[in-house]
Amino acid sequence: MNLPEKVTIYEVGPRDGLQNEAALIPVEVKAEFIRQLLAAGHTAVETTSFVSPKWVPQLADAAELLELIEAPEAIRMPVLVPNEKGLDRALAAGVREIAIFGSATETFAQKNLNRSVAESFEMFRPVVDRARSNGLQVRGYLSMCFGDPWEGAVGADTVAGHARTLFDMGITELSLGDTIGVGTPNQVTDLLTALGQKGITADQLAVHFHDTYGQALANTLTAMQHGITVIDASAGGLGGCPYAKSATGNLATEDLLWQLNGLGIDTGVDLHALVRTSLWMAEQLGRPSPSRAVQALSLTDSSTVSKELT
């Protein structure tokens, strides 16, 4: 099937998964969540965002959270920054990697960033320049890569053009977001082909799928067959998008792990340890996890699995 032997799961639960929770989550709970994710074997965990507390109150404790967690330098612990003010705070906190969040469509750029795609890229340029000059890695996100609830289908060439601009700006990795979960495997193939024609290779890319139409795992499999080895996912399937109401949660890390384990692909992440973590976080949030794998493994009658989960 032309699949990689190993992939990196880029865990977005602490940031993307929790940022839209209405009830404020104590910083100690967030810190414990991250500790458990690292203990389960994750090597890339996006921890928080230095966005204005006015817009995302849930992440107002970003600096305090980073003081509560420690990780070896080999572990990726990026934070999202929206602008230079956010970068100032991130640098003061001593982060080693940041992420910027852009849109492939004009309507979403206006709704999410209150500016055009071109204007948002100009806002990112000094952020990337300063981050790189300070020795930081810079991940870029492009949202709405396959479809937009206001504009409809998004062309692969359009996305590839924006991606080229971001790489020319100096980003070190780009995550392709299916923000409303409408993508299908053939669209994934078309987009990765278009990116290749722009000189962007699979080792520079990650994929970020939502499961609105149940296509996230199929799309992930297709992406891996085209050489992608970094996959975004959220423990327990947490997350969504506040500006696109049709978006359901992110691809659940446990569902992804079930697939990857079955394919014999190494991730270094312990599925059952992660299930325990997601069950614990579900208790903190007061609702069950939407992850199918979490639900199945927590209810199984298998004595072996039951012992591991208790």
CB-based contact 253:277 (threshold 8 Å): no
Element (H, E) at 233: strand 230-233
Task: List the end-to-end C-alpha distance of the chain, in Å, as a whole number.
Answer: 36
Dump pLDDT digits (tens) for 260-298. Answer: 999 999 999 999 999 999 999 999 999 999 999 999 999
Segments making up each domain of the chain, as ranges: 8-273
> Cα(108)–Cα(120) distance, rounded to whole angstroms?
11
**Model pTM above 0.85:** yes
Name the residue among 271, 291, 273, 293 with its Cα closest to residue 282: 291
With bands split at pLDDT 50, 70 and 90, how would you rate the model's confidence at 248? low
Kindly state the tokens that stand for 237.
Answer: 């399937």
What is the tens place of the pLDDT at every residue in 104-156? 999 999 998 899 999 999 999 999 999 999 999 999 999 999 999 999 999 99
pLDDT reading at 307 higher than 70? no
List CB contacts of 133: < 8 A, sequence separation 6 or more: none
72 φ/ψ sector (left φ>0, alpha ψ -120 to 50, else beta) = beta
Buried b (16+ CB within 10 A) or exposed e, 294-303: bbebbeeeee
Task: Answer yes or no: are the C-beta atoms of 46 and 81 closer than 8 Å.
Answer: no
Phi first, then psi: give them for residue 152, nearest 5 degrees: 85, -150
Fold adopted by 8-273: TIM Barrel (3.20.20)
Exactly one of 69, 160, 238, 241 is catalytic; which is it? 241
- Write phi, then psi, for 281 (nearest 5 degrees): -65, -35
Average pLDDT rounded to a whole number, residues 155-178? 98
Q: Is the dihedral of CA 232, 234, 240, 241 positive or negative?
A: negative
Are 41 and 273 spatial neighbours (Cβ–Cβ below 8 Å)? yes
For residue 309, what pLDDT band results from cuts at 50, 70 and 90?
very low
* Residue 46 per-residue DSSP state: -
**Average pLDDT of every residue of the chain:** 93
For the chain, give the percent of residues with pLDDT over 70: 94
Give the H or E element holding residue 205: strand 205-209
Q: Of how many residues is the chain composed?
A: 310
145 is an active site residue: no
